Amino acid sequence: MTVNLLDFDLEGLAAFCEQLGEKRFRATQLFRWIHHKGASDFAQMTDLARSLREKLPAAARITGLPVLSRQDSADGTIKWLFDVGDGNAVETVFIPEDDRGTLCVSSQAGCAVGCRFCSTGHQGFSRNLTTGEILAQLWQAEFFLRQHLNRPGERVITNVVMMGMGEPLQNIHALIPALKVMLDDHAYGLSRRRVTVSTSGVVPMIDRLAQECPVALAVSLHAPNDPLRDDLVPLNRKYPIAELLDACLRYLPAAPRDFITFEYCMLDGVNDTPEHARELLKLLREHGGRGVPCKINLIPFNPFPDSGLRCSPRAVVQRFGQILNEGGIVTTIRKTRGDDIDAACGQLAGDVLDRTDAARRLAQRRAVEQPIRFVTPHPERQA
Ligand code: SF4
């Protein structure tokens, strides 16, 4: 049984080289072949010691993920559907802009959080991705794009956002080594500011990320109060807004940026009124006494079948943003990209199977919860 070298950060690869009876520094050479040059064949690695090159094929492999499909949008956005086995698939999206190339990476097959406005959440949770499966998305996209765009030897992906399928902080064990590889100068050498982890609010893991690998943090907020957020982001029942914002304040001293980005999906008639905007402003400007230094991204909702939700009209989104901007919080309305290939935010479900039947269970649970959601505080919070 061989190990996939995409599963290792540099430290892990050095330990693996030691196990093979090789010097730890050989790992750096190997690491650079894999992540700087995109090599997957040990025979190509001509400057590796011959002893190591001879041992490697029996002990290791460098294997990406099978590509089930690739779709190219008219706006340059590219979406891959990768096979992760047992009928599961994950999506990865490349978004080119004038001054950057951003890759949106998945961390889980499905997602257990079950946000109401998210098609991945409706599909249920299958399993966590391994470090190698998270990194394979970057490795394959980067070296495909260099060839596809005829930019040999030039880095194409300049930013990574962990905003694809899954809640990355519920898979932190695999996430941290993957982030370390993204940041490592012997691999992708991305700055901490250009790698963003987006979370729905797994409070203890925000603290752990701060300690182990602080990168830019985006928080999916979507509501200015707990009753509404309980409904939209069920994890809020476990980690309500005040606890989440406290975690954001604790994160900031370690963060590479001096602000947190809050994501806010604009849902027609649900969370998009001027009163909601003013409540959000007050919350973020006053929490903890001095407020939370932040920026806000307003995300137009991308409808999907059975969501029961609609996107807020353009004028409503603009009015909402204007209230926040006038109140002193820098707020932008996110452009949607890749609409023609269903690659926009919240559309990452594609043809992936619902293997857990969670969509049905989620719908049942909501049917029970909705009539009482503004009346009774959730038991977990009362405890
Ligand atoms: S928005 Fe993120 S955390 Fe919520 S269900 Fe979708 S993938 Fe999971």
Is the CB of 167 within 6 Å of ligand 1? yes
In tens, the pLDDT along 43-70 reads 999 999 888 999 999 999 999 999 999 9
* Alpha carbon distances (Å) from 148 to 58, 152, 201: 32, 9, 37
Q: What is the residue-averaged pLDDT of the chain?
A: 89
Mean pLDDT of 104-117: 96
pLDDT beyond 80 at 357: no
Q: Which of 115, 117, 365 to mutate to test the pocket of ligand 1 (most atoms within 8 A of CB)?
A: 115
Contacts 24+ apart (CB under 8 A), 313-318: 313/268, 316/266, 316/268, 316/272, 317/266, 317/272
152 in Cβ contact with 146 (< 8 Å) = yes
pLDDT beyond 80 at 350: no
Mean pLDDT of 235-254: 98
Mean pLDDT of 207-220: 98
| Catalytic one of 104, 248, 311, 345 | 345
In tens, the pLDDT along 283-293 reads 999 999 999 99
**Does 142 participate in catalysis according to the annotation?**
no
Read off the DSSP letter of residue 80. E
Is the CB of 111 within 6 Å of ligand 1? yes
Task: Give the tokens for residue 207.
Answer: 């603290």
pLDDT beyond 90 at 274: yes
pLDDT beyond 90 at 382: no
If you measure from the C-alpha of residue 118 to the centroid of ligand 1, how many angstroms do you get, rounded to a whole number?
6
pLDDT beyond 60 at 375: no
- Start-to-end C-alpha separation, the chain: 48
Q: Which of 201, 179, 326, 172 is nearest to 263 (CA)?
A: 201
Question: How many angstroms separate the CA atoms of 142 and 157, rounded?
Answer: 6
236 in Cβ contact with 278 (< 8 Å) = no
Question: How many angstroms separate the CA atoms of 129 and 290, rounded?
Answer: 38
pLDDT beyond 90 at 366: no
Task: Give the tokens for residue 75.
Answer: 């706006």
pLDDT beyond 50 at 109: yes
pTM above 0.75, yes or no: yes
pLDDT of residue 344: 57
| Catalytic one of 91, 133, 167, 263 | 91
